[in-house]
Structure 1
Amino acid sequence: MARTKNCRSASGSGNIRKRPNGTWEGRYTAGTDERTGKSIRRSVYGKTQKEVRERLRQITNDIDTGSYVAPCSMKYSEWIDIWLSEYLTGRSPLTISQYKSYAHNHIVPVLGNHRLDELSLAQIQKFINSLAQESLSAKTVKNIYGIMHRCLQQAVTLGYLRHNPSEHCSLPRSLDPGITPLETPEIMLLIRRLQELNHPDANLILVTLFTGMRQSEVIGLSWPDVDFRKGIIFVRRQLVKLPEKGQGYIFSSPKSRKSRIIKPAPTVMRILDRQREQQKHWAQTAGSAWDNPENLVFTNEVGRHLAHVTVYKRFKDIVRELGFPECRFHDLRHTFATVSLENGDSIKTVQANLGHATASFTMAKYAHVSEAMRMESSVQMDRFIHNVSDL
């Protein structure tokens, strides 16, 4: 059959024709269907003949070199759901829940209806920029981007995509907010006020302040993990609230995924003993209503676990009253680390107590204290030099 006016060969790759609507179509053969034995014919489209010819040339080159990836009409929302359900093996329930929350609350509403193979760097960068404008922290934006990047990289691995369109996104710069540990006079004020109020969370706050445990770790602490005879605390798990609505709380391993042993000051063990006696009194008063199946150390008056938000709000109320409203519950942990270093504990010891993965992270986090320690070391060395010489 004679070739029509608008059809021409594209370097042996197939045919190009002009469509009635003025755009151009290039057709090519992408192998053979194994089930039917027929050739697989596909099309690419463009506004100009030149654009289509270049795309066809690239496609045929990919077919010849074995790097061709067939178009994928799956929507991005479909692929995210598949990835979340099938490719997060080994992740903790908390991590999976966080991924689902970020995906369904941020990614899918904006990009979910796009075809997986049509996502572009420009679209993803625009999405990332919009997140930054929503007053989300740089850390949150990076977390959302990380989910997108891993999800799309899996699509590349499976052959759904030729390359990861999120590969070269520019992310907002994280600003280290620094830490604001309580000073000694503030610590004294806090302790005194907790005692005056007979505060319901007094023991919990004091144990946190003098062990550096995370809020989720101290709320999830159980009595079998408190060894009064040896004077040690085993940090084996934490009680965390899942981010998706209605899922409640779960126990998981500590943030570092490793358990640790804390040898606190004897005063801390006495505080825990007071808590044990208080809880026995509550259990007797509650009778059959007492409900503490996990044998938790810190509960309400009928044995139920404490809610993170309740503990946080009650803590914020008392620090506002004392005149340091910017103090967060997590600053109790920073205070413990700072006081420990200032009183001569080594970086390695503080790292182990806090459960940090590396000593270098601990040193970087508390660099201001490390600098003070270096200055003190310098003064001590100078004193030694003067004691042994007349230099």
Structure 2
Amino acid sequence: IFSHLLSFGGIKSAFPKKNAQGAGTIRKRSDGRWEARFTVGFNPTTGKQVQKSIYGKTQKEVRERLTEVTMEVDTGTYAEPSKMTLEQWMGIWLDEYMFDKKWSAVKHYKAQVKINILPALGCYPLSQLDPHLIQTFYNSLLRGKGRTKPLSPKSIRNIHGILSKCLSTAVKLEYIRRNPAESVTLPRVDRKEIKPLNDGQVSKMVAQAGNDGFGTLFKVVVFTGLRLGEALGLTWDCVDFQKNRLTINKQLQKGRWRMSVLRLLR
């Protein structure tokens, strides 16, 4: 009798029409995106389902994310996605999580965030950032869409490094479940062939350098391959005349105090 009723749907009305907690459905929206809706629980006052949505470009992407989320709901580890926008989170990240970085690196990060990242992605909540959105952003930088000129692949990789680090920290703090920047395809960087100076060119340059302080510094750079900051950071304790040895243990960098003094002198 029971199987007979099941075959005709005769006992369906005897049970509440509610999905089990964590159960989900997938549909294609009119805008072309795929949406998965899942239940995170029931409202204790009304008894109605509390449902959330996941969006993606493909059905496969949404299905995979739905599987992860429903498993979290079933095991009690589900956490509500953060409603912070990328602009809000990047402000916190730059202010609170940069103490292990050099001042020059932080300055570079802030410039790239302000000029390139926030105008395009800053308004999006962290939970709505997905690989396709970030991929489209990188593609627009490479093509120069909306810009005076395209950015080089190396510049885009630098921007990607900043965005990915920022989102990785958000993952560690459980603001988002995964880092969407990890699934993008980055443009290939064609390395230019390095053409060092030959002996004749070096001899001509040294002859023109002179014997004053600047000429000496120029010769040190040419024959040691030091970076400019390393060369300018040399002090007398770095020089061992007995062993003809230079010890590179510091470098000169522009700091906050230096920039403040320059502003006052202008």
Scaled by the length of structure 1, the TM-score of the pair is: 0.49
Structure (1 or 2) with the larger CA radius of gyration: 1
Which residue of structure 1 aligns with residue 126 of structure 2? 116
Alignment check: 8 A CA contact 2:43 2:50 kept: no
- 2:171 pairs with 1:156: yes
The 5 Å alignment of 1:1-391 reads 9=17, 11-13=19-21, 28-30=39-41, 42-44=50-52, 59-134=69-144, 135-195=150-210, 201-241=214-254, 248=258
Call closer, same or farther: CA 1:9–1:73 in 2, change over 3 Å. Answer: farther
C-alpha displacement at 1:73, in angstroms?
Answer: 0.7
Give the aligned length.
226
Which residue of structure 1 aligns with residue 13 of structure 2? none
Deviations 1:126-178 (A, max 9, x none): 11122223443322221211121121122122211122111111111111112
Alignment check: 8 A CA contact 1:44 1:56 kept: no
Identity value in percent: 32
User: 2: CA distance between counterparts of 1:11 and 1:38?
Assistant: 16
User: 2: CA distance between counterparts of 1:176 and 1:25?
Assistant: 43
C-alpha displacement at 1:192, in angstroms?
Answer: 2.2
Call closer, same or farther: CA 1:39–1:229 in 2, change over 3 Å. Answer: farther
Q: Unaligned stretches of 5+ in structure 2?
A: 1-15, 25-29, 145-149, 260-266
User: 2: CA distance between counterparts of 1:173 and 1:66?
Assistant: 42
Call closer, same or farther: CA 1:120–1:179 in 2, change over 3 Å. Answer: same
C-alpha displacement at 1:116, in angstroms?
Answer: 0.7
Alignment check: 8 A CA contact 2:135 2:185 kept: yes
Q: Unaligned stretches of 5+ in structure 1?
A: 1-7, 17-21, 250-391
User: 2: CA distance between counterparts of 1:41 and 1:160?
Assistant: 24
Call closer, same or farther: CA 1:31–1:163 in 2, change over 3 Å. Answer: farther
C-alpha displacement at 1:30, in angstroms?
Answer: 4.7
| SS across alignment from 1:44 | strand
Deviations 1:332-360 (A, max 9, x none): xxxxxxxxxxxxxxxxxxxxxxxxxxxxx
RMSD across aligned C-alpha pairs, in angstroms?
4.0
Which residue of structure 2 aligns with residue 338 of structure 1? none
Deviations 1:345-387 (A, max 9, x none): xxxxxxxxxxxxxxxxxxxxxxxxxxxxxxxxxxxxxxxxxxx
User: 2: CA distance between counterparts of 1:87 and 1:31?
Assistant: 37
Scaled by the length of structure 2, the TM-score of the pair is: 0.69
